[in-house]
Amino acid sequence: MSGELKVFSGRSNPLLADKICSHLGIERGELTIKQFSDGELWCKFEENIRGKDIFLVQSTNAPHENIIELLLILDAARRASAGRITAVMPYYGYARQDRKDQPRVPISARLFMDLIVNAGAQRIIAMDLHSTQIQGYVSVPFDHLYSKPAVLKYLKNSTTMVDKDTVIVAPDVGSVPLARSYAYSLDLELAIIDKRRTAHNRSEVMNIIGNIAGKKVLIVDDMADTAGTLVSAAAKLAELGATEVNAAFTHAVLSGPAIGRIENSVLKHILVTDTIHRPEHADCSKIKTVSISETFAQAIDRIHNDESVSILFNKKD
């Protein structure tokens, strides 16, 4: 234990931070963040944090100010002599740029992790990384949490999205381990979409591995951005005989035309989490949100008390 527990939040998702604090039985710490007319950011802790155990909640989705804001808050905490500083990133942006897959491109996931650690993070907590190898980019302790317990709890208590004959669908090969774990936990069959990516945010469904004809299906993935891949996969599944197509994913990035695409698609129900705050204009009648605040609260409490958090990120359970 490193001093008194304090949780602060940037501006990307203060509602989630408040829910986390509610589970912990504490008030969110006072932090002022301002933006000058030229776009520069300024932040200040409005209370003494010397020697305290600080957890900074900030998802690094768009706009880009969110990741700069996190870096400034980390630096301020370090310079204010916090006892321990943990960056809590429910959603880590740039996680898709995790390797040099073509000439003359950056490995952005590594670059921003380096900046976060250099700014002052002594520990990192994130959820459902697009690529788990990102944990190896840093030398500080990294706790990778999963939304699966919260999502499974909802699915098991509702017959809206799954029944005993539902097929769990992996939208691509990279999502197979996640989809397989859901199929195992729900005792359901698994199908896999074989797709070809033709450009950024664009892919083509080539084949479906598994039997989905006459079945309700649930597409499981870590995130949806423009929803182009999700919507085209749903259309293909319906074309091949699926009676109902639903989806569940952790990070509702849902940028650009995503909401319109979903509203006009064959998708009936979508389950997401609150790792990313969705403003009212990004609302959709088909989307249901479950909170993962309790999982983060448990992780923060265990870390603060120097207890194991492994039970929280065992995705096989």
Rounded Cα distance between 139 and 240, Å, is: 47
Exposed e or buried b for every residue in 23-35, given b needs 16+ CB within 10 A? Answer: bbeeebbebeeee
Annotation says 195 is catalytic: yes
3-class secondary structure, 267: strand
- Concatenate the DSSP letters of all residues of 214-248 into one string: TSEEEEEEEEESSSHHHHHHHHHHHHTT-SEEEEE
- Tell me which residue of 48, 37, 34, 36 sits closest to 6, measured CA to CA: 48
**Cβ–Cβ < 8 Å for 45, 76:** yes
- 3 state SS of 107: coil
Q: In 10 A of CB 37, how many CB atoms?
A: 5
Q: Choose the catalytic residue: 6, 19, 195, 236.
A: 195
Tokens of 53: 């155990």
Number of Cβ atoms within 10 Å of the Cβ of 168:
25
Q: At what angle do helices 14-24 and 293-304 cross, to 10 degrees?
A: 60
> Angle, to 10 degrees, between the axis of helix 148-156 and the axis of helix 293-304?
140
Least Cα distance to 192 among 162, 160, 170 occurs for 170
Active-site residues: which are they? 195
